[in-house]
């Protein structure tokens, strides 16, 4: 069987991103999202998520010394403490633990930080991106080398990815849907809006059916893995 988790980063980063993620879930193939807990609109995101209980919400850890989300940075000695603080903040906002764990710009890949992420993931029994049976697929992204390539996140491109790149087992389709906000600065703007349109295009669900790909969320993962052969 082929299973697909549509997972959006950056929930809580802005009102427009929140709106785009909710739309991509309600009208499209988005099943999960990852919440930044230190952003200006994190609380709004948590409130919005309660109206869509089928949307799995995980923790999108952001470690930075400056920018939109001020936290203890990856160069600080207390990065582990900050990681746990963000986990606790997620529990405060959502009233539960996250369904999955990942990080902004995949900072958890750094050798000095990865042990802390793995420790947290094991302690709470949550899947960490690239360290679980879920295959991470990141090609659905509209930039490289600082240039915009909307064709990479077009309906036709996603159709090809679903037909060619989604393999047997469980795949996480990483995405970044959203709408542009005048009060939110980002180098990834028009691309987010293109992603919303692509994820919501009805033909994408048709392709999923044709390719025998079943949509699931991170919340389904434990039960699904329990029923799979070892």
First to last CA, the chain: 15
Q: Give residue-wise pLDDT tens across range 85-109.
A: 999 999 999 999 999 999 999 999 9
Domain definitions of the chain by residue range = 2-137+166-173+211-226
Host H or E run for residue 174: strand 169-175
CATH, domain range 2-137+166-173+211-226 = 3.20.20.370
Q: What is the pLDDT of residue 194?
A: 98
Supply the DSSP symbol for 127: P
Contact 60, 41 (CB under 8 A): no
pLDDT confidence of residue 186: 83
Average pLDDT over residues 70-82: 67
pTM given for the model: 0.92
50 and 18 Cβ atoms separated by less than 8 Å: no
Token digits of residue 73: 């940075």
Selection from 188, 136, 204, 194 nearest residue 165 by Cα:
136
Query: C-alpha distances in angstroms, 227 versus 6, 15, 181?
Result: 21, 38, 43
Q: Give the per-residue pLDDT at 106.
A: 95
């Amino acid at each position: 069987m082929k299973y697909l988790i549509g997972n959006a980063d950056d929930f809580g980063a802005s009102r427009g991103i929140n709106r785009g993620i909710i739309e991509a879930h309600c009208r499209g193939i988005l099943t999960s999202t990852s919440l930044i807990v230190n952003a200006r609109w994190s609380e709004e995101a948590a409130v919005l998520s309660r109206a869509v209980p089928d949307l799995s919400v995980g923790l999108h850890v952001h470690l930075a010394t400056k920018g939109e989300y001020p936290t203890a940075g990856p160069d600080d000695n207390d990065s582990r403490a900050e990681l746990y603080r963000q986990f606790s903040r997620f529990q405060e906002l959502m009233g539960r633990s996250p369904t999955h764990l990942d990080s902004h710009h995949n900072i958890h890949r750094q050798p000095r930080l990865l042990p802390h992420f793995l420790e947290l993931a094991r302690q709470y029994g949550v899947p960490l991106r690239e360290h679980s049976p879920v295959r991470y697929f990141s090609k659905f992204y509209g930039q490289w080398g600082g240039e915009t390539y909307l064709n990479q996140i077009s309906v036709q491109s996603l159709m090809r990815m679903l037909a060619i790149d989604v393999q047997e087992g469980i795949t996480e389709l990483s995405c970044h849907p959203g709408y542009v906000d005048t009060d939110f600065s980002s180098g990834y703007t028009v691309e987010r809006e293109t992603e919303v349109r692509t994820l919501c295009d009805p033909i994408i669900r048709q392709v999923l059916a044709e390719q025998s790909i079943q949509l699931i969320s991170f919340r389904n993962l434990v039960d699904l893995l329990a029923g799979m052969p070892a």
